[in-house]
Structure 1
Amino acid sequence: MQIGKFIKYIIICITFLLCGCLYSCEDSSKTKVSLKEDDKVQTEELKVEYEADNNKDSAQDNTMIYVYICGEVENPGVYQVEEGARLYQVVELAGGISENAADDYLNLAECVEDGQKIIVPSEEDAEQLEQSDKESASRLVNINTADEEKLTTLPGIGTSKAKCIIAYRESKGKFQTIEELMQIEGIKEGVFNKVKDMITVK
């Protein structure tokens, strides 16, 4: 009888030990699952924050500007475009050019600027503009080729200054810019401002 009781006691103890082990394993498993879920939530939160920051930076990088386009386009008006946009993109926003437009007069690959006014001319207007440009160019005095007599027709340029201009280009070579004229002795900003719209180096 005592042996039977002892065996029952042993069985009861083993049962309690097994139950304790099972409970401990289950609790550990729940803890691991909970940790994994917490990590997943934190990862998702970080991902959302990262995407939000990226979208914010992207929005800040895309600076918008306004340009006004008129003339021979279907829908003249003010348009909002991204900084660095090309002229052809503005033309597309305006519905494209009309049938009468001089499509080869403008440089469609040119970058537009904030506040810029763009006039798309007609074929007739473009011809008049080109003729006007040629006439203006023919009236300009080329300081690289003009003789003394021609140079003295410029305001503030007398015989002595004209000779200095000729001597300068003979010793230094051709003028690269009209501003270089101020390198001549006696020709400073005051004289230059009088002649800058009347001279050319081409």
Structure 2
Amino acid sequence: MEKINEIWEEHKDKIFLIVISIVILSVLLLPRIKATSSINGGDMQVQGQSQSNYELGENSSSSQLVSTMSVNEETNSQQKIRVDVKGAVVHPGVVTIKADQRVDAVIEKSGGVTKNADLDQVNLAHKLTDQMLIYIPAIGEQVQVNSPVLIRQSQENEVDESERSAAETTDANEDLAGKSGSKVNLNSATKEQLTELNGIGDKKADQIIAYRQQNGNFKTIDDLKNVSGIGDKIFESLADQITVN
């Protein structure tokens, strides 16, 4: 005990100084520790709220998309159109029907077909459009009505379109060949054909025709240089485009 008292007496000033320092440090650091804890806790809370809001937004967008698609499908299925039904049906006339229906549905709504109806000529799966004419022919009838649901007319339209495209292609090829390969005959060319030659305008074309009328046919293409206003330069630019055969 005496030894402890001796130590205390000897070092009490230092001990007091250490204790006071610890107290001061505690007072200074404690608010900072609390603030840091609060910030960390707040960040965790904000992150949790953000994730919840994101999940909520994502689920909401998906629900809205599904809802929009459902509304569109329901609108399309409820939309009404009017078609004109003629020919071998029990009740011909204008029929109001859903837009997503086909020919067989509108025939049924018209009371069905008559006994002499020729359904072999009709595409029953043809999809309806507003103002469509639906014609059901009778057996043996030579149909004169233009209706898109008739198989024979559809095939003929396809053939006509194919033939028309082929004819247009042939004409285009002939025009291209005429422009690139054929030559203008100086002895039979019209004014329009002559003006297509390099360096030949309306006036020179008239002079070529006048020369031809006065002197007879050109014997060679070189005779073209005898026409007033056509010199060597113009002749060289069009020599490969002309003939006298």
TM-score range, shorter-chain basis? 0.3 to 0.5
Q: Give the structure with the higher percent helix.
A: 2
TM-score (norm 1): 0.39
Bigger radius of gyration among the two = 2
TM-score (norm 2): 0.34
Asked which structure has the greater RCO (Cα within 8 Å, sep 6+), the reply is 1
